Structure 1
Amino acid sequence: MSQSREMLPRESLLWIFAAQFAALLPQFALLPLWIVCAWAFAVYWRLEVYRGRRDLPGRTIKLLAVALAVGGLALSYRRWFALEPMVALLAVSFTLKNLELVSRRDAFLSLLLAYFVAATLFVFEQTIPHAFYGAVCVVLITAALAAQQGSSSARPRRALGLSLRLLAQAVPLMLLLFIVMPRLGPLWAVPQNTDGASTGISDSMSPGDFAQLSKSDKPALRIAFDGPVPPPEQRYWRGLVYSDFDGRRWSQGFGVDPREGGRVSWGPPQQPLPAVGPRYRYRVIQEPTHNRWLFAMARPHSDTDGVGETPDDRLLKKAPVYNRFAYEVRTWPRETLGAVPDLSDFERSRNLQLPGGGNPRTRAWAQELRAKNPDTEEISRRILQFYNRRFVYTLKPPALGADSVDEFLFESQQGFCEHFAGSYVFAMRAAGVPARVVAGYQGGEWVAQEEYLLVREYDAHAWAEIWIPGRGWRRVDPTAAVSPERIRDGLRSAAAEEFMQDSLFPLHRISVLNRLRLQWDMINYRWYQSVVSFDSDRQRGLLQRILGEVSPLRIALFIAVPLGAALLCVLSWLWWSGCSRRLPPASRLYRKFCRRMARAGIERRPGEAPRDFARRVRAEKPHLGPMVERITAAFEKAAYCEDQEAEKQLRRLLRQWRVADGWW
């Protein structure tokens, strides 16, 4: 019997489980299946305990459950100090706590854990839908806390109403703190699981890879310019350089990939910046890729913390891009960099590397071109002419065999950008010219309303760079020789009927839906610009616009004045509600009736008894007499006889009379 008296009521349990489910729902796709099943089983067991069909588990079973949970976490995750196992640990704590959910203290602890789980949602995603869902979770968890105060507070309307009122009162303080609190970096960094799925361009390239990316219309980059916008033929956003070829696949290789010895400068630029100003200044917002490489035009420099530069004109981030990441870039034309040093022996050897065998026809053809004219640019021009005369640009090229370059150049002659870039670089290397493949994005859709360039996954592109003595690395895009409209107008124009042909919902073919999709992207852009990327620089600019001069005294006044006004309003409301609540409920209801009668033109006199007032109302407004008599009788019975039913009747009569007459 003593245990049953300690049990939480059914309504409290249901509120707790509803709050847990709301907080865990977005994590179900990330958590191991056994945690989801264990949580559901623990909820079922606890409900069975409430029904009296099961007993609460003893100490032995609890210890066994803890041991199984720890073992499951160890088997499910290689690294413990990462974000996913930390979230899984919180979910396991929910599960284990449900096995001993008995007292109100247990309920409070479980719901406080729910706040932390709901907060982890924003570590993974900061989009508008996730922000809205996070707010819903906070409302439900706060309502579950309110429901623990008693049986009447557990009613859905009452609990949700109290939760909404409490959170609405906290919104002004939240906005004030959002504006004035110092924008500090995280006090600790919890890495995410590097085995998670990545999106976008890979660290290697083989025939067909970029054609697969052309099927996705997900945003990849959003680029806002401070000054002139480059024309379409200059919008090459480089991210990776492939220097190693094994006969089928291009990869970064040793000395290029930072994981394999590639050099990265995290401080000042490796080369002195030109005295002439940069050609372009822009801010890139990159979607999460779970990789370290960033995207920018050639010869970039970034002052953003945690962004470094490589010798081959690329930008890298110290940690993988797990969430949207914004970085500032300045880009100089390569011709302004001054004298170009010669290639080192290692660089030359790496960018002339070819497999020991394979593709004999291409090798022989390239050597023939070299023999006829050893000039680098003339060899390149002849190869591009060969592409221009015979080749077809298509998103659905035929499969290639072992000698993929020979089959592409001399048999199928149909391909996508990776076919053209890879075969071109192979041919140039076979002719003795250092060359490399560059991967990134090309083009983008200009969003005039918000003035930014939207680059999508289907804008993924591969091109080539060749080394010209005295001039350095120069970009060559073989795809432009076959399909110049791809560079000028984008993939949608170049691919025509093949573009997004396999898409289940081809939104681009429906103009209204395409416009709506663009509007939604603009809303997301504003959200990221205004909220997610509200860093210290933006905070300082906003405070300067509001205060004029940012000083400790002005910031203190900016905080103290609204807080003092809010405190005064709260104290006034508490005083007014306290004065009114000192009256019995029946007297408060009768006073409300008298105020309504006063607005109707009949004011109750000081000291006038309720019966005398009712007779006077009947005399002056006979049509109100019956209802006033009933209200007066209910009040006298509720006030003097403490009849609860009479009080409910009085409340009901006032409500019905308001609806029936409606003249006050």
Structure 2
Amino acid sequence: MESAREWLPRESLVWIFAAQFVALLPQFTQLPLWIPFAWAFAVYWRLEVFRGRRDLPGRTLKLLVILLTTAGLSLSYRRWFALEPMVALLALSLTLKNLELVSRRDAFVSLLLAYFVAATLFVREQTIPYALYGLLCVVVITAALAAQSGGFSARPRRALGLSTRLLAQAAPLMLLLFVAMPRLGPLWSVPQDTAAGRTGVSDSMAPGDFTRLSKSDKPVLRIAFDGPIPPPEQRYWRGLVYSEFDGRTWRQGFAVDPRNGGRVYWKSGERPLPQVGPRYRYQVIQEPSRVPWLFALARPASDSAGVGATTDDRLVKRTPVFSRFAYDVRSWPRDSQGPPVPLSSAERRRNLQLPPSGNARTRAWVVRLRRQGLGASDISAQLLARFNREFTYTLSPPALGSDSVDAFLFDSRQGFCEHFAGSYVFAMRAAGVPARVVAGYQGGEWVSGEEYLLVREYDAHAWAEVWHQGRGWLRVDPTAAVAPERVRDGLESAAGAEFMQDALLPWHRVDIVMKLRLQWDRINYRWYQTVVSFDGDRQRDYLQRLLGEISPLRMALLLAVPTAVVLLGLLLWIWRGGQGGKLSPAERLYDKFCRRMARAGLVRGTGETPRDYARRIGEARPQLAALAQGVTDAFEGAAYGEDQAALSTLRRLLRWRLMLPGSIQRARDGQALTEQ
């Protein structure tokens, strides 16, 4: 047992708890609710120990706490080898360390854990606000380390000042390592413990799903083109294909979803591509979705690591998109390709599948058209013309019953994109034509200045693809038959007053706010391009531009020269400190006073005491006698008596009497120091 004099003082405990709170605060909204309460209780217990009201927990109690927390983690998470339970385990380690926080060694270990907890902040987000908050965490934790010396070092101003200076001195080395050191895989590539997507397009579609997405303006995709840009009516960003229908909900189905038997080409050579060059080349930056599917134009191909193409012209990632992900894409629109590969019998059956019963009125209507001798193209034209004449595009469609297609086509006749796409594909399948629903995003807002296309959640869209013999899969957008402005100008133009009407604050109607939000998105885009996506490939390109050639000698020089400059500056600073000694605040202020007096021709002699110097100033310049005496009295009180009031007086005298821009002027009665 350590003696009482080795225990942590109150100031050290306060700094440790402040550092823990700052590091844990962003995690409190993500962790199970019992973990923040456990941390608060551990802090309370340790403070009670400091007050002498309780004892530190013994071995038996510690073992019981460990068993309880382990059981809590097991009940809170479905699996252990995932990112969320690992972050929770780290937060619990920091929490339980408070129960044995006794010596400075314990404090050091606790603060090192706080650094790791603060680093987990970037697991979920790597945006500018999170980066600034992460910097705040580092400043506070480093200040807590500095405060462990006790006494004057524990004062907030002193500890924070020392922390800021240390981090400022480390910034050049940090920048050098960021540019030159080999890039490691990110922490957030570890599997996470949830399959819930952040973007709203999910692996199923039922009436009302896309209507919900129309109420969110969160960014989803940022797309920068290298060359031609597709016109608005061609900006269909495919993400999912729904082939299975149970009467109400569309799903990807077996052999379509890559997680359920769907084939994926992970290497570009495995999948035949057109001989002609791609029409569009672009890079997509996708926001976290926690699902593996990506978004691109029709017939895409990508050479980005971990990205593959499916047989139905989509892109997927090997692992879910847990953080912002950038991937390069080449696209060949179908009108630039040769004859398609014939549809296999399995694909035909899959894209003709309908439930055995339900939606009888739609089936009967299609049968009547077939008996009239109409073909697939005629039935499609009939349905689209009916949409155009009789139907309304709305963000607030009425609820539909169990036979949702019948209720939409013959009763409500009001709907959003999923209603039109789903009912169209159902009717075409009932007519014997292979068809499927495609979900993704359509359109986007062009951001000038940074030159990229910004796609938001309210751009979520569903459309149809129909198989034509000899031509392959052709896109048909039934929504365009009802509201062509939706495809041409975007959702806001098509929805009118309904657009974002449920928003708490209608920022989209305030022009200056929308401009500021767009400017903020530009800044975030540049941040991602410059910092977050600085991977091994970008690092190699940058070093080649900087060095001309990446060789061991040039890399050594890149690391050695800045390091030598920093070390030389540090040695010079130490040498100057050894020559002049470290001055206290009062000595620095008095030295400033002496330099000002020297400008007036009154140089302080070697070994001359402050009072002798003040007396000589008064004899040589009577008009400065009062000032010199006041400065001397304040200096002696601050330097020798550690009087804070005297230090404030000295600082005030020099600020107002000497620190303002002044000059030495020659007055009528002789040379004098004047202030302006």
Give the 3 Å change call, closer, same or farther, for CA 645–261 of structure 1 in structure 2. same
Give the match for residue 666 of structure 2. Answer: none
Residue 556 of structure 1: CA displacement?
A: 2.1
Once residues 454 and 29 of structure 1 are traced to their aligned partners in structure 2, the CA distance between those partners, rounded to angstroms, is 28
Q: Which residues in structure 2 correspond to 1:299-378 (within 5 Å)? A: 299-373=299-373, 375-378=375-378
Residue 576 of structure 1: CA displacement?
A: 0.7
Give the match for residue 439 of structure 1. Answer: 439
Q: Which residues in structure 2 correspond to 1:560-579 (within 5 Å)? A: 560-579=560-579
Once residues 61 and 14 of structure 1 are traced to their aligned partners in structure 2, the CA distance between those partners, rounded to angstroms, is 25
Tell me the SS of whatever aligns to 2:265: coil
Give the match for residue 464 of structure 1. Answer: 464
Once residues 317 and 306 of structure 1 are traced to their aligned partners in structure 2, the CA distance between those partners, rounded to angstroms, is 6
Q: Which residues in structure 2 correspond to 1:52-451 (within 5 Å)? A: 52-186=52-186, 189-196=189-196, 198-373=198-373, 375-451=375-451
Residue 388 of structure 1: CA displacement?
A: 1.3
- Give the stretch that moved more between structures: 361-370 or 306-315: 361-370
Residue 587 of structure 1: CA displacement?
A: 7.7
Give the match for residue 35 of structure 2. Answer: 35
Q: Which amino acid aligns with 1:657?
A: L
Residue 67 of structure 1: CA displacement?
A: 1.3
Residue 367 of structure 1: CA displacement?
A: 2.1
Once residues 633 and 221 of structure 1 are traced to their aligned partners in structure 2, the CA distance between those partners, rounded to angstroms, is 67
Q: Does 1:528 align with 2:528?
A: yes
Residue 336 of structure 1: CA displacement?
A: 3.4
- Give the stretch that moved more between structures: 614-623 or 586-595: 586-595
Q: Which amino acid aligns with 1:213?
A: L
Tell me the SS of whatever aligns to 1:454: strand
Give the 3 Å change call, closer, same or farther, for CA 4–286 of structure 1 in structure 2. same
Residue 386 of structure 1: CA displacement?
A: 1.6
Q: Does 1:657 align with 2:622?
A: no
Residue 16 of structure 1: CA displacement?
A: 0.3
Q: After superposition, give the CA deviation of every residue in 1:129-168 in whole Å (9 maximum; x if it has no partner).
A: 1111000000000000000012210000000000000000
Once residues 283 and 318 of structure 1 are traced to their aligned partners in structure 2, the CA distance between those partners, rounded to angstroms, is 18
Residue 544 of structure 1: CA displacement?
A: 3.1
Give the 3 Å change call, closer, same or farther, for CA 656–346 of structure 1 in structure 2. closer
Q: Which amino acid aligns with 1:624?
A: L
Once residues 249 and 486 of structure 1 are traced to their aligned partners in structure 2, the CA distance between those partners, rounded to angstroms, is 24
Give the 3 Å change call, closer, same or farther, for CA 615–5 of structure 1 in structure 2. closer
Give the match for residue 670 of structure 2. Answer: none
Residue 198 of structure 1: CA displacement?
A: 3.4
Q: Which amino acid aligns with 1:644?
A: Y
Percent of paired sites with the same residue: 69
Q: After superposition, give the CA deviation of every residue in 1:392-432 in whole Å (9 maximum; x if it has no partner).
A: 11111111112211121112111111111000000000100
Once residues 246 and 270 of structure 1 are traced to their aligned partners in structure 2, the CA distance between those partners, rounded to angstroms, is 34
Give the match for residue 645 of structure 1. Answer: 641
Give the 3 Å change call, closer, same or farther, for CA 587–439 of structure 1 in structure 2. closer
Give the 3 Å change call, closer, same or farther, for CA 502–624 of structure 1 in structure 2. same
Give the match for residue 506 of structure 2. Answer: 506
Give the match for residue 549 of structure 1. Answer: 549
Give the 3 Å change call, closer, same or farther, for CA 492–59 of structure 1 in structure 2. same
Give the 3 Å change call, closer, same or farther, for CA 340–306 of structure 1 in structure 2. same
Question: Is the CA contact 2:123–2:188 (under 8 Å) kept in the aligned structure 1?
Answer: no
Give the 3 Å change call, closer, same or farther, for CA 634–480 of structure 1 in structure 2. closer
Give the 3 Å change call, closer, same or farther, for CA 631–325 of structure 1 in structure 2. closer
Once residues 345 and 568 of structure 2 are traced to their aligned partners in structure 1, the CA distance between those partners, rounded to angstroms, is 77
Give the 3 Å change call, closer, same or farther, for CA 647–464 of structure 1 in structure 2. closer
Give the 3 Å change call, closer, same or farther, for CA 295–631 of structure 1 in structure 2. closer
Q: After superposition, give the CA deviation of every residue in 1:300-348 in whole Å (9 maximum; x if it has no partner).
A: 0000000111100000001111111110000012233323222111111
Give the 3 Å change call, closer, same or farther, for CA 202–620 of structure 1 in structure 2. same
Q: Which amino acid aligns with 1:645?
A: G
Give the 3 Å change call, closer, same or farther, for CA 251–617 of structure 1 in structure 2. same
Give the 3 Å change call, closer, same or farther, for CA 660–331 of structure 1 in structure 2. closer
Give the 3 Å change call, closer, same or farther, for CA 390–567 of structure 1 in structure 2. same
Residue 41 of structure 1: CA displacement?
A: 0.4
Residue 559 of structure 1: CA displacement?
A: 2.1
Once residues 535 and 219 of structure 1 are traced to their aligned partners in structure 2, the CA distance between those partners, rounded to angstroms, is 23
Once residues 361 and 645 of structure 2 are traced to their aligned partners in structure 1, the CA distance between those partners, rounded to angstroms, is 99
- In the superposition, the TM-score normalised over structure 1's length comes to 0.95
Give the match for residue 671 of structure 2. Answer: none
Q: Which amino acid aligns with 1:655?
A: R
Q: After superposition, give the CA deviation of every residue in 1:554-594 in whole Å (9 maximum; x if it has no partner).
A: 23222222221111111111111122227899987765543
Q: Which amino acid aligns with 2:62?
A: K
Give the 3 Å change call, closer, same or farther, for CA 385–590 of structure 1 in structure 2. closer
Once residues 573 and 131 of structure 1 are traced to their aligned partners in structure 2, the CA distance between those partners, rounded to angstroms, is 31
Question: Is the CA contact 2:124–2:188 (under 8 Å) kept in the aligned structure 1?
Answer: no
Question: Which residues of structure 1 form unaligned runs of 5+?
Answer: none
Once residues 511 and 587 of structure 1 are traced to their aligned partners in structure 2, the CA distance between those partners, rounded to angstroms, is 56
Question: Is the CA contact 1:376–1:468 (under 8 Å) kept in the aligned structure 2?
Answer: no
Q: After superposition, give the CA deviation of every residue in 1:427-485 in whole Å (9 maximum; x if it has no partner).
A: 00010000000000000111112110000000000000011001111100111111111
Question: Is the CA contact 1:294–1:317 (under 8 Å) kept in the aligned structure 2?
Answer: yes
Give the 3 Å change call, closer, same or farther, for CA 384–635 of structure 1 in structure 2. closer
Give the 3 Å change call, closer, same or farther, for CA 610–330 of structure 1 in structure 2. closer
Question: Is the CA contact 2:635–2:650 (under 8 Å) kept in the aligned structure 1?
Answer: no
Q: After superposition, give the CA deviation of every residue in 1:234-272 in whole Å (9 maximum; x if it has no partner).
A: 000000000001001110111111222111111125432
Tell me the SS of whatever aligns to 1:99: helix
Tell me the SS of whatever aligns to 2:264: coil
Residue 113 of structure 1: CA displacement?
A: 0.1
Give the 3 Å change call, closer, same or farther, for CA 215–586 of structure 1 in structure 2. closer
Residue 633 of structure 1: CA displacement?
A: 7.2
- In the superposition, the TM-score normalised over structure 2's length comes to 0.93
Tell me the SS of whatever aligns to 1:149: coil
Question: Is the CA contact 2:189–2:322 (under 8 Å) kept in the aligned structure 1?
Answer: no
Give the 3 Å change call, closer, same or farther, for CA 138–255 of structure 1 in structure 2. same
Give the match for residue 600 of structure 2. Answer: 600
Q: Which amino acid aligns with 1:18?
A: A
Question: Is the CA contact 1:589–1:651 (under 8 Å) kept in the aligned structure 2?
Answer: no
Once residues 253 and 72 of structure 1 are traced to their aligned partners in structure 2, the CA distance between those partners, rounded to angstroms, is 36
Residue 69 of structure 1: CA displacement?
A: 1.1
Once residues 20 and 634 of structure 1 are traced to their aligned partners in structure 2, the CA distance between those partners, rounded to angstroms, is 41
Question: Is the CA contact 1:589–1:650 (under 8 Å) kept in the aligned structure 2?
Answer: no
Give the 3 Å change call, closer, same or farther, for CA 372–507 of structure 1 in structure 2. same
Residue 659 of structure 1: CA displacement?
A: 2.9
Once residues 589 and 416 of structure 2 are traced to their aligned partners in structure 1, the CA distance between those partners, rounded to angstroms, is 79
Give the 3 Å change call, closer, same or farther, for CA 196–118 of structure 1 in structure 2. farther
- Give the stretch that moved more between structures: 232-241 or 5-14: 5-14
Once residues 511 and 178 of structure 1 are traced to their aligned partners in structure 2, the CA distance between those partners, rounded to angstroms, is 39
Give the match for residue 674 of structure 2. Answer: none
Q: Which amino acid aligns with 2:653?
A: W
- Give the stretch that moved more between structures: 445-454 or 375-384: 375-384
Once residues 630 and 505 of structure 1 are traced to their aligned partners in structure 2, the CA distance between those partners, rounded to angstroms, is 59
Q: Cα RMSD (Å) of the superposition? A: 2.3
Once residues 374 and 23 of structure 2 are traced to their aligned partners in structure 1, the CA distance between those partners, rounded to angstroms, is 67
Once residues 634 and 235 of structure 2 are traced to their aligned partners in structure 1, the CA distance between those partners, rounded to angstroms, is 80
Question: Is the CA contact 1:273–1:337 (under 8 Å) kept in the aligned structure 2?
Answer: no
Question: Is the CA contact 1:269–1:301 (under 8 Å) kept in the aligned structure 2?
Answer: no
Q: Which amino acid aligns with 2:204?
A: S
Once residues 531 and 585 of structure 2 are traced to their aligned partners in structure 1, the CA distance between those partners, rounded to angstroms, is 46
Once residues 237 and 653 of structure 1 are traced to their aligned partners in structure 2, the CA distance between those partners, rounded to angstroms, is 69
